[in-house]
A and B are shown apart, each in its own frame.
Chain A
Amino acid sequence: MGEYFLAFEKPLYELRQKVQELREQQALSALDLSRELNSLEEKLKNMQRKVYSNLSRWERVQVARHPNRPTSLEYIKNMVENFVELSGDRNFRDDKAVITGLGMIGTHKVAFIGQEKGKGTNDKIFRNFGMMHPEGYRKALRVMHLAQKFGLPIVILIDTPGAYPGIGAEERGQAEAIARNQFEMAQLKTPIVIVIIGEGASGGALGIGLGDVILMLENSWYSVISPEGCAAILWRDRGEAPKAAQALRLCATDLMELKMIDRILPEPPGGAHWDPITAINTVKIEISNELDKLKNIPYPQLIQARINKYRVMGAWEEN
């Protein structure tokens, strides 16, 4: 893990440094430091819990964007066995901001779709920071149709700062691509499990986000617009993003309260980037469980339940 840390993580990193130093000392000396080591490690865990249970919404957005937070590729590596990557939308090109393919999650054969932001500058540029173009949405849809044809359930990981706003994206129908995917996904005759693993920015996320079960990692966010975008419009200042994040109620606990998601998946103390393997393992187990539950539901019933799930979303009064 690199040395990047968020402002509120600083004391945690300092304490972890101490634990590591003590461990090195222990290795070199004959003295028994295990008691000190244990108590220090305990202290670190408590501190992680304390810091992370009191995060503001804006701080959680920072965690969701943490450079060391595991992205779809790491999930594939640690969660999907015998992965066969599939490329292209058969129309324009292969969008690198989304990875699609076939693989095994536990005992389940699945079609996998994951938004990939990239790690490090060059990779991020290669992946367009996880911002899909219309051809990315169409690539995902092609693989979903493939899954339907051959009876494979679909697993989707969401992690995007938004669909790409550019000239080419508009020329090739960004809005149409996102609309079409929702329309098609509503009727897919195969189970769809969605996990929001980092950022769920608006239509960019929803364009591959309609499914039977929606799970959200503890420190991820999902909303109608990014905090910066909202701040720019309503406060006329992107710098007010912390206020916008607070107002938008975009954290996992908010979405659970608002009945927009099915479940929150807990992250290891300190967040997924402190212990990616544990985080990924949680996601793997949860997906596997959901697939077990969904696989025996006849598809007319599945589709009806899927549409009903969205049919009841919203808040209004009528009198």
Chain B
Amino acid sequence: MKKLKIGDLEKIRDKVRRTAVLRQGKARAKVTVHMGTCGIAAGAREILSSLLEDIRKKKLDDVIVTTSGCAGLCSREPMATIEVTGKPPVKYVDLTTEKMRKILNQHIIKGTIVNEYALAVGSERTH
């Protein structure tokens, strides 16, 4: 059976700890990828994976990524909600990995909403 490389995991843990101390627990933004049945069927998992990889490559250790259930707008999935700290949440619809990448670069990093992919500003109920 494949053994976990504990030494490697410990190294990453220590690195994560150091960067967490540097940013003093403050997050730049939170991304919620909608992961209901509809979202998953429409490609939400691929969007989440690609987003996590882009965040890692760009070393954006102050961006939190999480998931939620269906928001009730199944026909517009995949969807994600971006909450830049101190700003109202923005909901993006009909996502692809390319659109998500543009949202990461333009909205999360530079703070400018990508209007052509945005549905609305505000929160929703999930689960």
| A-B complex is real | no
Chain B residues in the interface with A (C-beta under 8 A): none
